[in-house]
Structure 1
Amino acid sequence: MMPQSMCCVVYPASDKLDFQRADISEKIYTFDSSTWVQFRILTYRMLLQSWRNPNYLSLKVGLYVFLILIVSMLFWRMGNDGSKTLFNFGFVYTCVIVFLYVPMLPILLQFPNEVQLLKREYFNRWYSLNAYFFALTIARLPLELANALVVLSLTAEDGEIEFRISLLLGTMYLACVYITTGQPLEVVRYLQFLIICLLTAISSESLGFAISSTLSVVNSTFVGPAMAVPLMLLAVYGLGGESTNIPLYIKPFMYMSYLRYALEGLVIATYGNNRAALICPDEEVYCHFKHPKTLLQETGMEKANFWVAITGLVIFYIIFRSIFYFLLRRRLSMKRSFAALNIVGRFVKSYFTTGHV
């Protein structure tokens, strides 16, 4: 005979269970504050965290000052010298490399640890992923438009000052090296040069976010520079010959590198748009690259277009940001359904991890 306590179990009806599940689900997946409020608070917090880290700001300022000195000494007054045109092309490529590594490497070192904090706050329902993603995008975007949006939505002076410092560092570097290396002092050319460099910077940063959103610090610092190598090689492929000499099967791979668009944009900003002949010094008998069109032909960029370069960089920025958002959402999901990424992740951890994380 069964105990009386076991005979008194009453199971609720299925419709009541469904109602309870719906009520619990509604409480779990809703927030007390709106997405806009979350966005404002998160943006302010990110800016304030950067401002309260003086060591990082000092290191960043010191790095840019060091780069200004080194680049200025290496390429001093070469921009209008017809005998040193190839060296000045090296300066243009140096700017591409600077705005590849300087924005990307700090993200590879910092963001994997920040993801752990994000997971804890996200699963505690402090804020939504959309609010975090857009706050991170605005806080890191080094454009004056983003600065205006932040100023309109925030009132904290610390955040505004820090963001202006981050914005000014990149433009300070460009303004200094552009003048010291003797580039053409034309407003249109300088603005084109500045826009291409800033688009390259935010694209590199987005690529760093996409890599570090899934991998650990050790694996991110390995995968990031390793991925940058083929991108740099494809960017300069075809030097020494016209674009017609580049094999057809190579061209699609060249334009899969966003650095190719960056390099073409900077070269066109410097030597395109019917620039006048360069000065050939008296001590030189012959300056082969006196005419800018000769350089464009030798680098395979005689058909390059500035607006195509702008469009390509914007598209790559959107692609990298979309990949970053998708991988971050998958990282925060309780059900990871994309098996291919799990296989790749296990492969990297098995064969390329150099230490415990």
Structure 2
Amino acid sequence: MPPLYKIHRSKERFNGSTRHLVMCSHLGVTSLKLEPEKKILHNLTGHFEPGKVTVILGPSGAGKTTLLKIIAKRLINVKGTITINGVEQNKRMFCKKVCYVPQQFDLLPFLTIRETLYIAARLKLNVDQNEHAIHLVVNDIVKSLNLSYCLNTLANKLSGGERKRLSIGVEMITKPSVLLLDEPTSGLDSVASNQLINMLHNMASANCTVVCVIHQPSSQMISLFDNIMVLNQGRCMYCGPKSEILNTYSIAGFTCPSFYNIAEFVLEVITEQRGGDLENLYKICRDEYEKIRLHNKHNENELDSLIDSKQKCKTHDINTSINRIVLKKSTWQQQRILFLRALICMRRDILLTQLRLATHIIVGLLLGTIFYNFGGNAENVGSNIACLFFFLLFLFFASAMPAVQMFPTEAAVFLQEHLNNWYSLKAYYSVKVLTDFPIQILCVSPFLFISYYMTGQPMEYDRFLQTWSVCLLITIIGQTFGILTGTAFGTELGIFLIPASSISLLLFSGFFLKLNEMSIYLQPLSFVSFFRYAFEGIMQAVYLDRPNLVCSEIYCYLRSPNKILSMMGMPVMPFYILLIVLCCWVLFLHVIIYTVFYWKIYHAKR
């Protein structure tokens, strides 16, 4: 079976520099979902010239975004090869030379323009680059993007045009050979759109092949492009200079009225609003394209014959220096930069941290008021057990719900940056776990200090430390559970799934139903409930091997703490085993999250 597509990237040398011509020939891709297969691209042929800005036109569903993703190696369910000068290229090296800016480019909301570009430069440029060199790169990009007036503005306060320019700026840092943009002018006014296209022309003049998908450009905007590629139902209906498209269409019997928008005319033709034979147009466009390619190949051979070996060596040195700029950093180097970024975001997002801390303090005071001094009284054992169980409930849900709401946005930024080869999943996730840990300790400690003391629990150092360790672990499990649900299912579904999935685990915790009272067939299910281990752990920390409780009556059956534990069917296992099991739950959830991230990366490339 012949390859479905080939992408040839030949080199056109001029004045000792290397210019890149991206050529797509016999390109086809079929969706591989569970529903019946749908062919998206059909034997598509075309090329994108260096030093010029090419616009891809076509109606919705024509395959424009699919084409860009294939060139950017974002799709893996495509058969074929990518070659440069007829030689099959390493996928990783090819991806470093191509940058893809999607229509929805996610930015971290609590970073300024300066910080966003600086962090991107630190991640993408050579580790040997000093601070002064990095700041020079950032300043040059800011100046070319006309963003100097809002350098210290947070990303969540930028206008649509400023966000678009910033999203392109973070990819300009390494001066990519090929820049692919999916609808960069969507949501912008005409002035901002024209400024953006002019900026892309400046990038193209610096030896960059620029390709844009524009849904419906105005007459003024279309005049700013050099080449046009037209797609319809996965087929190429024209590829070549903008000046020749009307002549080609007129050969097929489609005449554009005077002073008419070229883009609107082309879209009307390929969507059959003007009648005519589209099959004949397709054949004529292919014939005209072959003539253009033969002419360009002839010119390219003439240029190659004029370049001597000295110039070739110079070109090779230029390529080597460019590749050296984007050498991949080690995991430790990536972690340091990501840790710096995480600290900046934590410092800026202080409102959420303050709310979480205030909530824990208020709930701790509320529990202390309601269950005041119940811990040492034998007459209030039932209420005190309920209070201890509420510790676990509150800490779990207070960390799970914010995580499921906030993390999907951060995960979208990670996926985008990882696919653009900024950093590895291992570096990102290790920093995420590390930076979350102090916040968890900060929230758990004041809550437990207040509620533990006010409810009259035994004021012994080892017992308090045991209780604190159980509460910290259930907090970590809650946040990890929220991250997993938000990553796998999104915010809306995750908010429903967290309480729904937790109910079954709570039923087997040993609080509502004693473990020894469960059916013999249901008892094994209690071993998969982390609430069961956390509840038994906090009960052992408070009641195990403790002196008799105070009781005002003559006879109190539950005066003895050992009888309280026996009544609850505890202890079943030593305390250190309970901590090990909870730690294993944390590790298990992290492994699942890591796997989900890998699946999302794989799915994003399909």
Q: TM-score range by the shorter chain?
A: 0.7 to 0.9
Equivalence for 1:346? none
Pick closer, same or farther for the CA change 1:251–1:19 going to 2, 3 Å: farther
Equivalence for 1:305? 574
What fraction of aligned residue pairs are identical, expressed as a percent? 25
Q: Find the aligned partners of 2:523 and 2:394 in 1 and give their Cα distance.
A: 25
Name the SS of the counterpart of 2:489 in structure 1. coil
Equivalent of 2:551 in 248, 263, 280:
280
1:139 aligns with 2:435: yes
Cα shift at 1:92:
0.9
Pick closer, same or farther for the CA change 1:133–1:285 going to 2, 3 Å: same
Equivalence for 1:71? 367
TM-score (ref. length: structure 2): 0.46
**Is the contact made by 1:330 and 1:336 (CA closer than 8 Å) also made in structure 2?**
no
Q: Identify the structure with the greater strand proportion.
A: 2
**Is the contact made by 1:254 and 1:260 (CA closer than 8 Å) also made in structure 2?**
yes
**Is the contact made by 1:268 and 1:304 (CA closer than 8 Å) also made in structure 2?**
no
**Is the contact made by 2:395 and 2:471 (CA closer than 8 Å) also made in structure 1?**
yes
What amino acid does structure 1 have at the position aligned with 2:338? Answer: L
Corresponding pairs, count: 298
Cα shift at 1:195:
0.7
Moved more, 67-76 or 167-176: 167-176
Q: Find the aligned partners of 1:22 and 1:291 in 2 and give their Cα distance.
A: 75
Name the SS of the counterpart of 2:531 in structure 1. helix
1:264 aligns with 2:331: no
Equivalence for 2:400? 104
1:323 aligns with 2:592: yes
Equivalence for 1:118? 414
Pick closer, same or farther for the CA change 1:126–1:87 going to 2, 3 Å: same
Q: Find the aligned partners of 2:344 and 2:372 in 1 and give their Cα distance.
A: 38
Equivalence for 1:219? 493
Deviations 1:292-322 (A, max 9, x none): 1111122111434211211110111111000
Cα shift at 1:132:
0.6
Query: Which residues in structure 2 correspond to 1:203-214 (within 5 Å)?
Result: 203-214=477-488
Deviations 1:325-353 (A, max 9, x none): 0001111224789xxxxxxxxxxxxxxxx
Equivalent of 1:191 in 465, 472, 476:
465
1:231 aligns with 2:500: no
Pick closer, same or farther for the CA change 1:279–1:119 going to 2, 3 Å: same
Query: Which residues in structure 2 correspond to 1:139-178 (within 5 Å)?
Result: 139-142=435-438, 167-178=441-452
Q: Find the aligned partners of 2:427 and 2:344 in 1 and give their Cα distance.
A: 17
Equivalence for 2:159? none
Equivalence for 2:305? none
TM-score (ref. length: structure 1): 0.77
Deviations 1:52-71 (A, max 9, x none): 12321221122112111211
Equivalence for 1:60? 356
Pick closer, same or farther for the CA change 1:132–1:19 going to 2, 3 Å: farther
**Is the contact made by 1:112 and 1:215 (CA closer than 8 Å) also made in structure 2?**
no
1:251 aligns with 2:513: no
**Is the contact made by 2:361 and 2:446 (CA closer than 8 Å) also made in structure 1?**
no
Q: Find the aligned partners of 1:313 and 1:47 in 2 and give their Cα distance.
A: 28
Cα shift at 1:179:
0.9
Name the SS of the counterpart of 1:333 in structure 2. helix
Q: Find the aligned partners of 2:475 and 2:498 in 1 and give their Cα distance.
A: 15
What amino acid does structure 1 have at the position aligned with 2:522? Answer: I
Q: Find the aligned partners of 1:238 and 1:68 in 2 and give their Cα distance.
A: 23
Equivalence for 1:130? 426
Deviations 1:273-305 (A, max 9, x none): x11111112xx3432211111111221114342
Name the SS of the counterpart of 1:184 in structure 2. coil
Q: Find the aligned partners of 1:191 and 1:18 in 2 and give their Cα distance.
A: 66
Cα shift at 1:127:
1.0
Pick closer, same or farther for the CA change 1:255–1:31 going to 2, 3 Å: farther
Cα shift at 1:169:
2.8
Q: Find the aligned partners of 2:505 and 2:462 in 1 and give their Cα distance.
A: 28
1:38 aligns with 2:334: yes
Moved more, 304-313 or 92-101: 304-313
What amino acid does structure 1 have at the position aligned with 2:576? Answer: W
Q: Find the aligned partners of 1:336 and 1:300 in 2 and give their Cα distance.
A: 52
Cα shift at 1:43:
2.0
Equivalent of 1:292 in 540, 561, 574:
561
**Is the contact made by 1:238 and 1:299 (CA closer than 8 Å) also made in structure 2?**
no
Structure 1 or 2, whichever has the larger Rg, is 2
Q: Find the aligned partners of 2:87 and 2:595 in 1 and give their Cα distance.
A: 31
**Is the contact made by 1:262 and 1:313 (CA closer than 8 Å) also made in structure 2?**
yes
Q: Find the aligned partners of 1:331 and 1:238 in 2 and give their Cα distance.
A: 38
What amino acid does structure 2 have at the position aligned with 1:23? Answer: N
1:28 aligns with 2:95: yes
Name the SS of the counterpart of 1:131 in structure 2. helix
Cα shift at 1:35:
1.0
Pick closer, same or farther for the CA change 1:50–1:335 going to 2, 3 Å: closer
Moved more, 198-207 or 321-330: 198-207
What amino acid does structure 1 have at the position aligned with 2:567? Answer: E
Q: Find the aligned partners of 1:336 and 1:324 in 2 and give their Cα distance.
A: 19
Q: Find the aligned partners of 1:18 and 1:204 in 2 and give their Cα distance.
A: 53
Gaps of 5+ in 2: 1-24, 26-80, 97-325
What amino acid does structure 1 have at the position aligned with 2:95? Answer: I
Deviations 1:155-211 (A, max 9, x none): xxxxxxxx5xx5333111111111111111111111111111111111111111111
Moved more, 122-131 or 246-255: 246-255
**Is the contact made by 1:92 and 1:266 (CA closer than 8 Å) also made in structure 2?**
yes
What amino acid does structure 1 have at the position aligned with 2:457? Answer: Q
What amino acid does structure 1 have at the position aligned with 2:508? Answer: L
Deviations 1:208-233 (A, max 9, x none): 11111121211111111111111111
Q: Find the aligned partners of 1:28 and 1:336 in 2 and give their Cα distance.
A: 13
Cα shift at 1:90:
0.9
Pick closer, same or farther for the CA change 1:19–1:105 going to 2, 3 Å: farther
